């Protein structure tokens, strides 16, 4: 191998020499053209050799047929989601098989595999199982305190957009691409530390295993260092959750497709151009996983042809369970986007049951005290306004209402997030999403969103006024680092061919009528609340009076003790004078005698 490499280099140098003939030059160019067509070739020694523009760069990676991982996948089908093959930088000659397990409690060991694989290193990981490195950094107080400067954010966004396609082509194991103000080194070792440095973060499912035929990640991209962490995208909306029935639909209500178990959230209500009211949510909520895979690159302009094969306009959507339908799917978009375009996962459901039309911009009740909303100031979206997300808005506070988690608050952390939806590492650009927003929860909240919150409208206070909320995005999923993935709302409306003013306003709409028993119950609760507040006030006043009395009693006791001490001292002095007088008298008597 060594001789072949140096011989090729020598021939190349000779061909560049001016004394060589034209035939030698033609042969060299023909050889280079053939080599450029094949990125990797197999030598007689079973090693992989990469052909580059500068010559040959040999890597001691043991050659194994792609059928090896596929054969293992076929044997373990039903027990694993996927099997892929890689190697470790420290031992490039030894292949490593990564087995991705479903999140249903399944556990495997080396003994469960065929005997022919017992000699190899096998890594078992559940679909969303990752190390705690990324979540520890994301949820640390230092991460919330240290913000990236605006100039750096602009440069970061430009750097990611310029290099994202090249990174994805060269590294099939990339799950997400984000940025951070902290960089982690030597995680899991004694010399592990966190460096305060702006960096580009690449998330993979299994850190340390490089797919066969690929190289390790570069140390830096542009002028920013690279930090590799473990992380995955989690689609929200696949786990059914119970919720209350609402005669008049509200934003934040749980919805479900009648013939499937994909559960999500009503994001908002739209005034449709052709008449009627629509519901905005995620496409993966109203479509099955098979349909999402089949129509991953589907846009509204292409759906006329799909109508013949997939009658998706007849799909019935229900709230809150599969027996209370309210509408059918009108449009959906499943478009991954590109380095300069935003990926969209959205759907519009037209309300066909007029008895369930929305009459209020309020969200369902959330009785937690940490949300900042309550009976006196309910959370509501009545303006129908949307704003464009810009880099200068990063770090601002946002709020959302999801069918699973209710009201949660977070910070807009990043506006150009990339992630891969599928757990299958390949070079296809089908199941990915570009230019998403990333939201991290505020302190005091376990997370910004969870499964079942897909489709939730993400809102921002207009000029700091929490009563006037404007829409900025829609929840599509989350990550293993406890952050939430949000798609910009204006890009969703644009892709659906809807105007930015299509959200329904509720300024002049009447609220739903309440029954007399419910009104009386609310009055009684209000009365009891006033009594409790009065009782608390009385207790505080009693404690204050009792404290004053105790202090006054202590002062009086101190005065009395001081008087007693003074009286005792006076008696002692009088006693001493009396004794002195007696001595004087005795002395005088003795003198007279």
Mean pLDDT of 562-573: 89
CA distance 412 to 487: 12
How confident is the model at residue 104, as a pLDDT? 66
Which of 319, 316, 283 is CA-nearest to residue 300?
Answer: 283
CA distance 243 to 265: 11
Looking only at Cα atoms, what is the longest distance across the chain? 160
CA distance 425 to 430: 12
Mean pLDDT of 138-151: 81
pLDDT band at 355 (very low <50, low <70, confident <90, very high): confident
Residue 500 DSSP SS3: coil
Residue 24: Cβ-neighbour burial (10 angstroms; 0-12, 13-18, 19+)? middle
Tell me the pairing of strands 316-318 and 397-402.
unpaired
CA distance 356 to 439: 32
CA distances (Å), origin 109, targets 3, 10, 86, 315, 339? 43, 50, 18, 42, 40
Q: Which domains can be identified in the chain, with CATH numbers?
A: 2-62 (no CATH), 131-231 (no CATH), 254-495 (2.40.10.10)
pTM of the entire predicted model: 0.65
How confident is the model at residue 423, as a pLDDT? 57
CA distance 205 to 419: 12
Q: Phi first, then psi: give them for residue 330, nearest 5 degrees.
A: -100, -50
Tell me: pLDDT of 226 over 80.
Answer: yes
pLDDT tens figures, 493-525: 999 999 999 999 886 344 444 444 566 777 777
Write the secondary structure of 212-268 as one string of H (helix), E (strand) and C (coil).
Answer: CCCCCCCCEECCEEEEEEECCEEECCCCCCCCCCCCCCCCCCEEEECCCCCEEECCE
Region of poorest pLDDT, from 336-345, 509-518, 542-551, 571-580:
509-518
Residue 589 DSSP label: H
Which of 593, 137, 203 is CA-nearest to residue 423?
Answer: 203
Percent of the chain with pLDDT over 90: 24
CA distance 213 to 173: 12
CA distance 380 to 358: 13
Q: Do the beta carbons of residue 319 and residue 250 sit within 8 Å?
A: no
pLDDT band at 530 (very low <50, low <70, confident <90, very high): confident
Angle at which helices 22-37 and 2-16 pack, to 10 degrees? 130
CA distance 335 to 341: 10
pLDDT band at 491 (very low <50, low <70, confident <90, very high): very high
Q: Hunting for tokens 């002049």 — which residue is that?
A: 508
Burial letters 559-572, b for 16+ CB under 10 A, else e: eeeeeeeeeeeeee
Torsion of CA 104, 109, 111, 112, to 10 degrees: 20
pLDDT band at 532 (very low <50, low <70, confident <90, very high): confident
How confident is the model at residue 207, as a pLDDT? 92
What 579-585 contacts at long range (C-beta under 8 Å, 24+ apart), as own/partner pairs, is none
Concatenate the DSSP letters of all residues of 61-94 into one string. EE---THHHHHHHHHTBTTBSEEEEEE-SS-TTS
How confident is the model at residue 303, as a pLDDT? 56
Region of poorest pLDDT, from 232-241, 403-412, 429-438, 481-490:
232-241
CA distances (Å), origin 569, targets 65, 559, 564, 575, 583? 107, 15, 9, 10, 21
How confident is the model at residue 20, as a pLDDT? 45
pLDDT band at 487 (very low <50, low <70, confident <90, very high): very high
Structure tokens that stand for 15 in this block: 């061909």
């Amino acid at each position: 191998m060594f001789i072949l490499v140096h011989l090729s280099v020598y021939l190349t140098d000779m061909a560049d020499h001016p004394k060589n003939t034209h035939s030698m030059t033609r042969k060299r160019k023909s050889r280079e053209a053939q080599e450029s067509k094949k990125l990797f070739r197999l030598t007689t020694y079973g090693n992989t050799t990469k052909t580059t523009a500068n010559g040959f760069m040999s890597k001691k990676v043991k050659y194994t047929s792609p059928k090896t991982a596929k054969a293992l996948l076929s044997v373990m089908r039903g027990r694993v989601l996927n099997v892929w093959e890689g190697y470790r930088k420290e031992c490039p000659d030894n292949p490593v098989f990564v087995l991705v397990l479903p999140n249903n409690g399944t556990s495997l060991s080396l003994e469960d595999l065929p005997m022919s694989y017992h000699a190899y290193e096998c890594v078992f990981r559940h679909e969303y199982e990752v190390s705690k490195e990324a979540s520890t950094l994301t949820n640390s107080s230092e991460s919330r305190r240290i913000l990236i400067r605006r100039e750096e954010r602009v440069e970061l966004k430009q750097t990611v957009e310029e290099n994202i396609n090249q990174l994805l082509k060269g590294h099939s194991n990339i799950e997400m691409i984000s940025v951070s103000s902290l960089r982690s080194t030597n995680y899991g070792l004694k010399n592990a530390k966190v460096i305060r440095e702006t960096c580009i973060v690449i998330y993979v499912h299994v850190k340390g295993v490089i797919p066969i035929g690929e190289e390790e990640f570069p140390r830096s991209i542009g002028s920013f260092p690279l930090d590799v962490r473990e992380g995955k995208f989690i689609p929200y909306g696949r786990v059914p959750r119970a919720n209350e029935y609402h005669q008049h639909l509200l934003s934040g209500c749980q919805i479900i497709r009648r013939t499937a178990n994909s559960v999500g959230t009503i994001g908002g209500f739209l005034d449709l151009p052709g008449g009627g009211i629509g519901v905005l949510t995620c496409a993966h909520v109203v479509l099955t996983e098979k349909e999402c895979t089949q129509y991953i690159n589907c846009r509204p302009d292409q759906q006329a042809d799909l109508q013949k094969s997939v009658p998706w306009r007849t799909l019935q959507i229900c709230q809150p369970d599969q027996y209370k339908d309210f509408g059918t799917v009108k449009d959906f978009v499943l478009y991954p986007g590109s380095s300069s375009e935003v990926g969209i996962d959205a759907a519009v459901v037209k309300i066909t049951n007029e008895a369930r039309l929305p009459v209020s911009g309020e969200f369902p009740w959330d009785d937690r005290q940490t949300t900042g909303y309550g009976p006196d100031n309910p959370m509501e979206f009545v303006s129908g306004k949307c704003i464009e997300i810009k880099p200068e808005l990063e770090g601002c506070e946002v709020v959302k209402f999801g069918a699973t988690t209710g009201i949660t608050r977070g910070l807009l952390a990043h506006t150009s997030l990339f992630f891969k939806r599928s757990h299958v590492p390949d070079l296809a650009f089908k199941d990915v999403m570009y230019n998403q927003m990333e939201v991290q929860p505020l302190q005091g909240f376990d997370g910004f969103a969870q499964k079942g919150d897909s489709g939730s409208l993400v809102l921002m206070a207009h000029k700091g006024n929490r009563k006037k909320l404007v829409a900025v995005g829609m929840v599509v999923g989350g990550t293993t680092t406890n952050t939430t993935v949000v798609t910009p709302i204006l890009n969703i409306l644009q892709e659906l061919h809807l105007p930015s003013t299509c959200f329904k306003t509720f300024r002049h709409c009447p609220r739903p009528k309440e029954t007399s028993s419910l009104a009386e119950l609310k009055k009684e609760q209000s009365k009891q609340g006033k009594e409790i507040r009065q009782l608390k006030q009385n207790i505080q006043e009693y404690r204050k009076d009792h404290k004053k009395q105790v202090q006054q009693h202590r002062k009086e006791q101190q005065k009395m003790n001081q008087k007693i001490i003074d009286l005792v001292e006076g008696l002692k002095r009088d006693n001493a004078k009396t004794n002195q007088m007696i001595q004087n008298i005795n002395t005088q008597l003795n003198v007279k005698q």
